[in-house]
Amino acid sequence: MKHPNQVIIDLASLRHNFRQARAAFGDRPLLAVVKADAYGHGAVEVARALTDEEADMFGVAHPTEGARLRAAGIDRPILLFCGAHPDDAGELADQELTPMLFDLELARALDAAGRARGRVLPVHLKIDTGMGRAGFRPEQLDEVLATLAGLDHVRIDGVVSHLALADDVANPFTARQYETFAACVERVRAAGFNPRWLHLSNSPGLFGQTFPLCNLARPGISLYGGLPGESFRHLDLKPVMRFVSRIAQVNRLPAGSGISYGHRFVTERDSLVAAVPVGYSDGYPRLVTNRAEVLVRGRRIRQVGTVCMNWILLDVTDHPDVRVGDLVTLLGRDGDGLISGDELAGWAQTIDYEVFCSIGSRNPRQYLRA
C-alpha cells in the first residue's frame, strides 16, 4: 500500500553537518543529541550513521529511548538528559545508560544497583547555572557532593550544564553561566572528585563561543541542518529532512469561490486549485494557513485556505502544467528550491526544532544513504 506523504532523510547531509560541528569544536569529542527520535529524523538510523562518523556519545531524553538504541546495537555511551526514575536504576546499570543526575534519590538507587552488580556506575552531575530548568543549584552543591562522597558505587564521570541564551551570541549571560559552571567544577574537584567530561554547549554554544574548560559538546539542531540562531546563517549546514506529498486533485473554481473551512481564502479570479492530502495530523502546522509556500516542479506555490487535518490547498492558477500525482515538497529541497525548517517555522510562529519533531515523527521515513 502506498502512503501519499513521506519524510526523506538525507544521511549524507547529516554526516556533513556532524563534520562541520566536529571542526567547529576543534576535532574534540562530540555527543550527538538524538532525543525525541533524533528531532524526528529517526534515532536508530541517525545514531548508526553518526557511529560511522565516530560520534563519541549519544544523548536522549528518557531511558526508553536509550534502551531502543541499545536494542538496535548502538554501543557508544548514552546520556539520559531527563534523568530516570529511581526504580529503573538496575536497568540503567544493565543497559549502560548514564543519567544526567539532578536527584539524590536516583543517586542512592544507582549506588544500590552498582553494589549489587559489583560495579561503580557513572553519572554526569547536572548543575543549573541559569537555565532555571533541571539541575542542582550551585548553593546545593556542597550537600550534593557530601552525599555522593558517601556512595561508593556511583562515580561523577561528568559535570554538565545547559545554556539558556547562547543563540543570542552577544548576550553576556552566557559568560556568566560559564563562570558559574567553572566555579562549580572547581568545587567538585576540591571535594575529591575527578570528572572526566565537562560540557555546556548546545549547537549555538558550540558554533558561537569557546569554553576552555569544556572537553565535550552536545550539538542537536545543527546536525539536522536547523538554524541554531539568527547569527548562524553563514554556517555550511545542509537540510537533512525533506517532507513530500503528491497532488491528488486539480479543480477549476470561478472567481469569488471560498476555499476550505471558514472560507478564509476567496479566489479573486478564475482559479486552478490543487488539493494535497496532507494536513495538521501529519505535523504540517495549521498556523501556516494562507501563509506557507510549497515547491512543485521546483517552483514556489502559495498554500491557500485553512490547513485541514488531512488536506491543504494550493493556488496553481499561474502553473497550469501542474498535474495530479506531481510531487509537492512542503519542507526541504526540490531542485534549486528550498523550504527550510526555519522558513516553515516562521510561517507557523514556532521554531524549526518543533517542525522537525512534529513532521518527522508522524510520517513514514525513507533514508538516503551516503
Ligand X SMILES: Cc1ncc(COP(=O)(O)O)c(C=O)c1O
Minimum CB separation from ligand X for residue 219, in Å?
5
Give the N- to C-terminal CA distance of the chain in Å, as an integer: 27
Q: Which is nearer to ligand X, 80 or 273 (CB)?
A: 80
Q: Which is nearer to ligand X, 151 or 160 (CB)?
A: 160
Minimum CB separation from ligand X for residue 306, in Å?
31
- Taking alpha carbons only, the member of 247, 232, 267, 245 closest to residue 364 is 245
Minimum CB separation from ligand X for residue 56, in Å?
14
Applying CB under 6 A, the span of 173-181, 186-194, 215-223, 248-256 interacting with ligand X comes to 215-223
Lookup: cell for 36: 525525541
Q: Which of 2, 126, 238, 261 is catalytic?
A: 261
If binding is defined by CB under 6 A, does position 181 make contact with ligand X?
no
If binding is defined by CB under 6 A, does position 178 make contact with ligand X?
no
Q: Where are the beta strands (DSSP E) in 38-193?
A: 57-60, 78-80, 97-101, 121-126, 154-160
Q: Which is nearer to ligand X, 49 or 301 (CB)?
A: 49
- Report the side by side order of strands in the sheet with 78-80: 31-33, 57-60, 78-80, 97-101, 121-126, 154-160, 197-199
CB 217 within 8 A of CB 198: no
Q: Is 178 a catalytic residue?
A: no
Minimum CB separation from ligand X for residue 341, in Å?
12
Site for ligand X in 136-175 (CB under 6 A): 162
Q: Is 39 a catalytic residue?
A: no
Number of shown-chain residues binding ligand X (CB under 6 A): 11
Gap between the Cα atoms of 159 and 150, Å rounded: 18
Lookup: cell for 181: 559552571
CB 22 within 8 A of CB 49: no
Q: Where are the beta strands (DSSP E) in the chain?
A: 6-10, 31-33, 57-60, 78-80, 97-101, 121-126, 154-160, 197-199, 241-246, 249-253, 258-259, 265-266, 271-276, 293-296, 299-304, 312-315, 327-334, 337-339, 365-368
Closest-by-Cβ residue to ligand X is: 220
Lookup: cell for 182: 567553572
CB burial string 43-82: b at 16+ within 10 A, e below: bbbbbbbbbebebbbbbbbbbebbbbbeeeebebbbbbbe
Site for ligand X in 278-307 (CB under 6 A): none
Q: Which is nearer to ligand X, 136 or 311 (CB)?
A: 136
Minimum CB separation from ligand X for residue 33, in Å?
4
Site for ligand X in 300-339 (CB under 6 A): none
Minimum CB separation from ligand X for residue 226, in Å?
7
If binding is defined by CB under 6 A, does position 218 make contact with ligand X?
yes
β-partners of residue 315 are 273, 302
Q: Which is nearer to ligand X, 17 or 306 (CB)?
A: 17
Gap between the Cα atoms of 293 and 340, Å rounded: 11
Site for ligand X in 72-101 (CB under 6 A): 81
Distances (CA, A) of 279 to 62, 270, 282, 309: 29, 25, 5, 5
Minimum CB separation from ligand X for residue 157, in Å?
16
If binding is defined by CB under 6 A, does position 203 make contact with ligand X?
yes
Q: Which is nearer to ligand X, 106 or 221 (CB)?
A: 221
The residue within the footprint of ligand X, chosen from 122, 219, 239, 360 (CB under 6 A), is 219
Gap between the Cα atoms of 342 and 206, Å rounded: 19
Applying CB under 6 A, the span of 1-9, 86-94, 220-228, 274-282 interacting with ligand X comes to 220-228
If binding is defined by CB under 6 A, does position 221 make contact with ligand X?
yes
Applying CB under 6 A, the span of 68-76, 216-224, 233-241, 333-341 interacting with ligand X comes to 216-224
DSSP 179: H
Q: Which is nearer to ligand X, 144 or 237 (CB)?
A: 237
Instruction: Show which residues are catalytic.
Output: 35, 261
Give me the residues that bind ligand X (CB under 6 A), please. 33, 81, 162, 202-203, 218-222, 228
